[in-house]
Structure 1
C-alpha cells in the first residue's frame, strides 16, 4: 500500500478556518481532493480555537470537526487530525493561557496569540503540569467523541513541535509522546504518529526517532529541498533529499515512514523559477520560487523515489495556494512564499504538481506502484547523533543522483 494525501487549510480561510467555519466550503474543497484521487486530508486542530482555556474544550470546534469528518466520509476520503497546532507556516500560534507573563525576544518563528504578535514566552508543553493536563484533556475530548469515526485515518500529535518549543531533554519529548499515545488508545484504535521534520535528523532538537517509535504506529517525516543547506542555493528542487530523509528515519527508528509533508513554493503566477528576498527574524533571506512546470517534475520524481525507498505514503504540502484576501494577514504578510505551495491555485485550477499526485494515485489504484529497490540503511542512533548534520550531509553526497 502507498497512501496519497494532502495537507489541508481552506484556500480562503487558512489558519482562520475554525473561527469562520462553513460546511459548504469543506464540501467543495474535499470534493476537489477526492477528484485528485487522494485518500487522506491532514487537518489541523488549531489549539486556541479548540481549547480556549486549559479546562474548557470548545463544543463549537468539536461539532465543526464532526462536520469535517462527515463530509470526508461522504466524498470518500479520510482525515488525519493534528493536535496542538501550534507551529504553522512560519509562525507559532499560542493560546493565550499557555503564555507566561515573562517577555523575551520575538525572534523566529514569531509568536502569535489571538491573531496578534506577542513577546510573551510560552510554557513548556512537554513538562509543564498545566499544559500536560490540558493536552490530555483535549485528546480525550476529541478521541472520546470521534475515536471510532470511519473517516479517521490516523491521529497526529503536532506539527514540527520543536519549532514551537524545544524540549529541554529528549526524555521529555519521549514521555510526552508516550502519554499522548496512551490517551488516544483509551478511545481509538486508529494509528498515531508525531509530526516530525528534517531537523529531527540533522540536529539535536529534542526529538529522536527511536524514542518515538515504541509508542507510534508509524514514523512521520517532513522535508523540503528548498530549505536544505546543500541544495537550497544550487539545486532547490533536488528530488533525493526527501527519499533520503525517509530512509534515515526508517533506519534510526526501526519503523516504516509516512512522508507527511513535502513540496515547493511556486512563483505567484507559476510561470518562472526565481529567487526572491524575504525578511526572517529581521534579516533578509534568499528564497527560491519554482515554476509550476518544474514543480510538477519534482513531485513526479519524489513520489517514485519514495516508493522505491519503502515509504508507506506521501502527503503534499499543500491543498491550495491562498486567496489574495489573506495576503495581508499573519503569517502571509511576512512569509510571502507561504502563499503558493498548493497543488491547486487559488482559483481552483490544478497545478502540474496536483496532476502528478493524481497520476501517481491512479498508478497505485491500478496495482502499478513502483517496487522498493533501495534496501533499508543500517544506522545506529548513538553514532548518528554525535554529528547529525555531518552524517546527513555525508549520506546525501553519497546518494545524490543515485536514488
Structure 2
C-alpha cells in the first residue's frame, strides 16, 4: 500500500471538484462524467486527489449512513485507482466553497452544537467508523480527514479551545481506529493561525493528527489586494504559513501538507494566475518536511449553478469543458520538472522569533507586524524559519531544525 508521505518526494494533487453539478453530484453520481474528470486530472501529472463527502447525503439521520452514497464513494475511489490516482477522503462537509452543509437532524427543533453536543459527536463517530470500514480494502485510499475547514462552522456553533480539543481528540481517535494504517488528519482554514481568540488554535493544527494541514489563501485578510497578486507577500504566502505552522509544532520535523492553495479571481487576475501558481509552488518547495501540495481545485464551477461568490467559479485548473487553463499548464509543467529533478529545500539557519499568544494571532496575519517583518526578509532574498519564543531556550529543538541564529521583528 502506498503511503501519503514519501521520503524525498514532493507529491502533487488536486482538490477534486466535479465538473458536472459540483458536489451536488453525490445526489445522483454520473460515473462516466467522474471518469472523464479523473482522466483530465491525471493528464496534469498529479498523483492524488482529495475527495469530499457531503455530510447530509452520507448521513441523513444520526443513526443511518446512506449505503448508496458509500457505494458511490467506493466507485469514485476505484475510478481514481484506474486513473493511477491515490485518494484522501474528507468525511464531514461541513464547509465547501462558501457553503455550509448541515444534516436536518442537527437543525430546527433538533438544533445542536456540532462541536459540544454529545449526541452529535456520537453520530459523527458512528459515521467515521462506517465510512472507514467501507474504505479499508481500498489500497489507494491513503488519507482520511475529519472534514474540510470545520472551523468555518464555529460562528453558529460556539465552543472554547478546550472543547475543540476534546472534539478533535474524540473524532481523530475514531478515524484512526477505523483506518489504522492510513494518514488521519483534520483541517482548519487559516483563522486558526490569524484570528485573535478563535477557538481553533495553531497548536491544534500543528500537534493533532498525523500531520499539519494548511490552507494559505491569498484572499484571507485581503492579502493579494493589499500587497498585489504577484507581490512577495502573495507569492510567498504558502511558504510563510508552512514556517508559521512549524513554529507551533512540538515535533521539529512534523510534516506540513499544503492542502489547499489556489489563484482566486479577482484577487489574482486571470492573466496572472499561471505566474502566481508557479511562484507559489517554487517558494513552497524551498521548505523542508512538506510532503505534498494539493491545489484548489481541479475544475471550474459551472456558471449554471447559482449563488456562488465570483471567485469560486474560476478556481479550477481545468474549465468545465475539460480544457486545461494556463494555471493548470503551469502546474503540470512544474510537476514534470520536479518529477525529473526533485527540488532541494533551502537551509533556514535564521529564524524570526514570534512572541505571541491566542489573543495576538493577528500580528502574524497579512497586514500584521510580524507578517510584514518576515516578508521584508523574503523581499531581501532571505529564507527565514519561524520559532515561537517558548522554543528559543530549547537548543535541541533549534538544532533539530537547523536553526543557529535568532532574530526579532
Alignment map for 1:190-339 (pairs within 5 Å): 190-203=182-195, 204-237=197-230, 238-254=234-250, 255-266=254-265, 288=267, 290-291=269-270, 293-310=271-288, 311-326=290-305, 328=306, 331-332=307-308, 335-339=309-313
Q: Residue by residue, what CA displacement relative to the aligned partner does 1:124-183 show, whole Å, maximum 9, x if unpaired?
A: 221101210110011000101212411112111121112122551112212221112211
1:127 correspondence with 2:116: yes
Contact 2:49 2:85 in 1 (8 A): yes
Contact 1:247 1:376 in 2 (8 A): no
Structure 2 residue matching 1:101: 3-state secondary structure: helix
Q: Distance in 2 between matches of 1:76 and 1:143?
A: 21
Contact 2:214 2:260 in 1 (8 A): yes
1:75 correspondence with 2:49: no
Aligned to 1:146: 135
Q: Residue by residue, what CA displacement relative to the aligned partner does 1:327-363 show, whole Å, maximum 9, x if unpaired?
A: x2xx42xx12211101011221111211122122222
Over 3 Å counting, the alpha-carbon distance change for 1:176 and 1:375 in structure 2 is: farther
Structure 2 residue matching 1:154: 3-state secondary structure: strand
Aligned to 1:168: 159
Structure 1 residue matching 2:79: 3-state secondary structure: helix
Over 3 Å counting, the alpha-carbon distance change for 1:14 and 1:397 in structure 2 is: same
Cα distance, 1:30 vs. partner? 0.8
Runs of 4+ in 1 over 6 A off after TM superposition: none
Q: Distance in 2 between matches of 1:394 and 1:159?
A: 29
Over 3 Å counting, the alpha-carbon distance change for 1:215 and 1:376 in structure 2 is: farther
Contact 2:47 2:85 in 1 (8 A): yes
Q: Distance in 2 between matches of 1:138 and 1:248?
A: 33
Cα distance, 1:391 vs. partner? 3.5
1:58 correspondence with 2:66: yes
Cα distance, 1:205 vs. partner? 1.7
Cα distance, 1:315 vs. partner? 1.1
Cα distance, 1:289 vs. partner? 5.1
Q: Distance in 2 between matches of 1:379 and 1:176?
A: 31
Taking only aligned residues, the RMSD between alpha carbons, in angstroms, comes to 2.1
Q: Can you give the 5+ residue segments of structure 2 that lack an aligned partner in the other structure?
A: 1-8, 384-409
Aligned to 1:385: 358
Contact 1:304 1:370 in 2 (8 A): no
Over 3 Å counting, the alpha-carbon distance change for 1:41 and 1:299 in structure 2 is: same
Structure 1 residue matching 2:316: 3-state secondary structure: coil
Cα distance, 1:376 vs. partner? 8.3
Structure 2 residue matching 1:253: 3-state secondary structure: coil
Contact 1:309 1:375 in 2 (8 A): no
Q: Normalised by the size of structure 2, how large is the TM-score?
A: 0.82
Over 3 Å counting, the alpha-carbon distance change for 1:240 and 1:147 in structure 2 is: same
Q: Can you give the 5+ residue segments of structure 1 that lack an aligned partner in the other structure?
A: 103-121, 267-286
Contact 1:308 1:374 in 2 (8 A): no
Contact 1:289 1:337 in 2 (8 A): no
Aligned to 1:8: 16
Q: Residue by residue, what CA displacement relative to the aligned partner does 1:207-258 show, whole Å, maximum 9, x if unpaired?
A: 1232344441101011211333354244134212221111101211342210
Over 3 Å counting, the alpha-carbon distance change for 1:100 and 1:377 in structure 2 is: farther
